[in-house]
Amino acid sequence: MDKPKEIEFAWLLFAGIVTMLLLALAVIIFVIVHQRRVHALRLALQQQELAYQTKMLRSIITSQETERERIAQDLHDEIGASLSAARLFINQINYEDSTPAVQELAQQASQIVGDTLKSVRRIVQNMSPMALDKLGLCRAIKQLSSRLEATGLQIESQLDAAVEQLPAETQLALYRIIQEAFANALKHARATALTLYLHRNANELLLRISDDGCGFVLAQATAGTTDGMGLAGIAARVKLLEGNLHVNSLPGSGTHIVLRLPC
């Protein structure tokens, strides 16, 4: 092969190699761009799904609160008023003209109606915490604690008044979380003592709730058993608040709940 042809062949070979490299580079760039687009699309879909779930969750909780307020108002206005009237009529019985048996029955009826009226008022307070609007979060929690302490549960609490500067929606969510944790400790864990710590600084809100109850296996609770029902409600509210929830529990070791919220 003469020299001009060798040079021409060398240039053709070089051009072919460069072309192949450019094609390979183009394929690599295409794959990278495609993967990034797919990743961005997946991320966008995940964000849309998360936003939809959050919207639905907020709607469900809002509907629950609205329904609670309606039921509480109906109980207060209708059942409470009817029981009060019934007790008034019973107390107006003329005991002087009645036999001892009738008098005893009237007293028992009055006692039963009175106890039922107290139960209705307690249910109304639990369903619609009016003290939260009137007195603030700390005093509402103290009232809730007092009602539970009447059942024999010992509650030690440290409450930071700074939490009352939080938005009303956040305060209501915190109240419901504490209410649910208290109910779980009393009904399911059969606790005798409970500690509550609620503190807020410039960047974070910290809530700690611990009880000396029977505890449970966390994996079983979150799988949908009875104990998990309360945790699911707590977790849903924490999710809406964009907080972090940690639950630690073992059989015989009580339950410890730690909640952190950005402020």
Residue 210 confidence (pLDDT)? 94
- Which of 97, 113, 128 is a domain's end point? 128
pLDDT number for residue 257: 94
Q: How many domains does the chain have?
A: 2
Same domain as 196, residue 179: yes
The CA distance from 163 to 136, in Å, is 9
Identify the domain boundary among 79, 96, 128. Answer: 128
Residue with tokens 């070979």: 13
30 and 56: one domain?
yes
Same-domain check for residues 251 and 177? yes
- Residue % of the chain over a pLDDT of 90: 23
Q: Are residues 61 and 103 in the same domain?
A: yes
Tell me the pLDDT tens digit for each residue of 53-62: 777 877 778 7
Residues 56 and 119 in one domain: yes
Do both 180 and 202 map to the same domain?
yes
Same domain (yes/no): 15, 31: yes
Tell me the pLDDT of the chain averaged across its residues: 82
- When mean pLDDT is compared across 114-123, 141-150, 206-215, the lowest value belongs to 114-123
Last residue of a domain, one of 128, 160, 185: 128
Q: How confident is the model at residue 94 (pLDDT cuts 50, 70, 90)?
A: low
Q: Which amino acid is at 130?
A: M
Take residue 203 and report the two structure tokens written for it.
Answer: 């960047």
CA distance linking residue 258 with residue 142, whole number of Å:
19
Q: Are residues 113 and 12 in the same domain?
A: yes
- Asked whether residue 104 falls in the same domain as residue 142, the answer is no
Same-domain status, 150 and 186 = yes
Q: How far apart are CA 133 and CA 233, in angstroms?
A: 22
Closest CA to 243 of 31, 10, 43, 54: 54
Residue 254 predicted with pLDDT over 80: yes
Are both 97 and 196 inside the same structural domain?
no
Euclidean distance between CA atoms 103 and 96, whole angstroms: 9
CATH of the domain at 197: 3.30.565.10
Average confidence (pLDDT) over 78-93? 76
What is the extent of the structural domain holding 218? 134-263
Please give the residue that has the higher pLDDT: either 209 or 97: 209
pLDDT at residue 183 in the model: 87
Quick one: 97 and 177 in the same domain?
A: no
The amino acid sitting at 62 is T
